[in-house]
Structure 1
Amino acid sequence: MIRKNQVLYRTNKKPIVWDAFFNANGNKKPIVIFCHGYKGFKDWGCWDLVAQRFKNSNLFFIKFNFSHNGGTVEDPIDFPDLDAFAENNYSKELDDLDGLIEFIRSKSFEYKQEVDLNNITLIGHSRGGGISILKTSESNSITKLITWASVSSFGKRTSTTGDLEQWRKDGVKYVLNGRTKQQMPHNYQFYEDFKANESRLHIESAIKRITKPVLIIHAQDDPSVKFDEALALHSWNPKNTLITIDNSNHVFGASHPWKKNDLPKPLDLVVIKTIAFITSGN
């Protein structure tokens, strides 16, 4: 069963649009929640093909749009709502992920007969990897963590560095989206929220606290998030497993839009290693 563009409405908060891919057989399946990265969305590239692979392995796969990622309920692809994008921050993304997890664990979750609430894995790509690390460190309900090309620090990213005085004066700064050619706005509140929650948003401290199984997957030649960041994550949590992907990039050979019926070879390997980690007994 594939359920696309379902909506989690929340009081006084923007809704979350989410998808579920699973075999509707009444058997309780491990839950896998996928968190997209910066300038990402749940329908990017071949994420649907990825979801199908998890479904075929009898996992309950959920992917979603962060509430302020720039998409809308009516148009969840790309960035029709730049006003929302401008008001995004790390705290909102953590709150979104927490709200989605609580919804899945609630009695009102429509598919509760299909899920094993004692077996929840988070997968985060790029910035979503950092968010997943933080949430795993805070939540007792997460049983495994997997990062794909994850960042190791929020403090040195574009959204928290640069000409801070000019940013404060202008109230907004822009980052070009090379694919859509949109100027993506970041309101100064992003930096203010980061500074106000800097200790909570410290990825190194968070991953050091995690005692659950952790898998780190990163391309050796990632041009966007350097492999050194994977090495840093690996060094901070010696119980984790690090898998290096050769001859690949930040999205493991994928692109948007993706017109083929098969995954690129690097991403195919990532999916194989990820599913093996989730279904193993470790």
Structure 2
Amino acid sequence: MIKKENYNIPGVKGRGMLMDITYDDSIRNAPLVIFVHGFKGFKDWGTHNMVADYFARSGFRYLKFNFSHNGTTADKPIDFADLIAFSENTFSMELEELNDVLDFVCNGSSMPRVTGVYLIGHSMGGGISILQTAGDSRVKKLVSMASLASFTNLWTKAAEEQWKLSGIMYMPNSRTGQDMPLKVSILDDLRDNPAKLDILEKATHINQPWLIVHGDADPTVPVAQAKQLKKANKQAELLIIKGADHTFGASHPYAKDSLPKDLLEFCDLSIAFFKK
């Protein structure tokens, strides 16, 4: 029987992080996969629950969570209801919170204790996952999904100058129609922590098995960034899904009762990699 357990653990500045774990109750000691969402993402976006169910039926426990400053709230987990929190987010905060999630599961807090996990990071979450994996032996394998090779690829260089002058930049969300604010503190974070937040440099230090998956029709993060990651770590495996976009065919909301073809291929590739 497939079950789901829900948690709310503290993140940065005391803000909660909603979390859920999907698993097959009949499988003992199933390995744990942690999914790390990307920019303007959240744990219940689109197909994420269907993917969790698919992994659970394939013999894994599947954990996904919301970063505390992703703009959603406990009362409105699928809406960007707190744009003030969103504006104050930084990469260092997300890296700290991913470590908190690992502490939670590896210390046996309110769930079966594990000694190691598998990570899947999408887009910006892929970058955060690369940083975490490079310095954390608890991560046994990594799958980066349409990952950034640099956090500065989220915006244009030209936008930075005006951003620094005004102290805030607005990024449009085409799905919701919202202008998503980002304070200059996220730029300050990159300036103040260049070594800690250098994705390509950290990629060179990953010794764990690493699968890089990208679509060659990704309009958001070009496939060239996946090739940069592969160049930085020769031991990593690069798989390019022909015709796949940034979300591998998924959307929010998602009304179909089966996974998109490209996302199903991604799931099967990841499951096979984790089971090797």
Q: Using structure 2 for the length normalisation, give the TM-score.
A: 0.95
Residue 24 of structure 1: aligned partner: 25
C-alpha spacing 1:3/1:229, structure 2 compared with 1 (3 Å): same
Aligned residues of 1:124 and 1:150 also touching (Cα < 8 A): yes
Residue 38 of structure 1: aligned partner: 39
- Secondary structure of the residue aligned to 2:15 is strand
- Indicate whether 1:142 and 2:107 are aligned: no
Q: What is the CA distance between 1:236 and its match in structure 2?
A: 1.1
Q: In the alignment, residue 176 of structure 1 is paired with which amino acid?
A: P
C-alpha spacing 1:5/1:72, structure 2 compared with 1 (3 Å): farther
Q: In the alignment, residue 184 of structure 1 is paired with which amino acid?
A: M
Q: What are structure 1's unaligned runs of at least 5 residues?
A: none
- Secondary structure of the residue aligned to 1:209 is coil
- Secondary structure of the residue aligned to 1:155 is helix
Q: In the alignment, residue 99 of structure 1 is paired with which amino acid?
A: D
Aligned residues of 2:214 and 2:244 also touching (Cα < 8 A): no
> Within 5 A, what are the aligned runs for 1:67-216?
67-112=68-113, 117-158=114-155, 161-216=157-212
Q: In the alignment, residue 48 of structure 2 is paired with which amino acid?
A: W
Paired with 1:85 and 1:163, the residues of 2 have a C-alpha distance of: 19
Q: What is the CA distance between 1:107 and its match in structure 2?
A: 3.3
- Secondary structure of the residue aligned to 2:55 is helix
Aligned residues of 2:47 and 2:259 also touching (Cα < 8 A): yes
Aligned residues of 1:2 and 1:19 also touching (Cα < 8 A): no
Q: What is the CA distance between 1:161 and its match in structure 2?
A: 3.7
- Secondary structure of the residue aligned to 1:29 is coil
The 10-residue stretch of structure 1 (263-272 or 9-18) with the greater mean CA deviation from structure 2:
9-18
Aligned residues of 1:129 and 1:147 also touching (Cα < 8 A): yes
Aligned residues of 2:36 and 2:125 also touching (Cα < 8 A): yes
C-alpha spacing 1:58/1:39, structure 2 compared with 1 (3 Å): same
Residues 221-276 of structure 1, C-alpha deviations (whole Å, 9 max, x = no match):
11110010111111111111111101221101111100011001000000000000
Residue 242 of structure 1: aligned partner: 238
Aligned residues of 1:21 and 1:52 also touching (Cα < 8 A): yes
Q: In the alignment, residue 134 of structure 2 is paired with which amino acid?
A: S
Paired with 1:2 and 1:195, the residues of 2 have a C-alpha distance of: 43
Aligned residues of 2:11 and 2:68 also touching (Cα < 8 A): no
Q: In the alignment, residue 173 of structure 2 is paired with which amino acid?
A: N
| Number of residue equivalences | 275
Residue 221 of structure 2: aligned partner: 225
Q: In the alignment, residue 274 of structure 1 is paired with which amino acid?
A: S
> Within 5 A, what are the aligned runs for 1:57-76?
57-76=58-77
Paired with 1:190 and 1:133, the residues of 2 have a C-alpha distance of: 19
Q: What is the CA distance between 1:169 and its match in structure 2?
A: 3.2
Paired with 2:254 and 2:74, the residues of 1 have a C-alpha distance of: 22
Q: What is the CA distance between 1:26 and its match in structure 2?
A: 6.2
Residue 262 of structure 2: aligned partner: 266
Q: What is the CA distance between 1:28 and its match in structure 2?
A: 1.0
Paired with 1:130 and 1:6, the residues of 2 have a C-alpha distance of: 25
Q: In the alignment, residue 248 of structure 1 is paired with which amino acid?
A: A
Aligned residues of 1:34 and 1:122 also touching (Cα < 8 A): yes
Aligned residues of 2:3 and 2:25 also touching (Cα < 8 A): no
Q: In the alignment, residue 18 of structure 1 is paired with which amino acid?
A: M
Q: What is the CA distance between 1:11 and its match in structure 2?
A: 7.9
TM superposition outliers: structure 1 runs of 4+ over 3 Å:
160-165
Paired with 1:127 and 1:3, the residues of 2 have a C-alpha distance of: 26
Paired with 1:30 and 1:68, the residues of 2 have a C-alpha distance of: 28
C-alpha spacing 1:152/1:10, structure 2 compared with 1 (3 Å): closer
Q: What is the CA distance between 1:163 and its match in structure 2?
A: 3.9
Note the aligned Cα RMSD (angstroms): 1.5
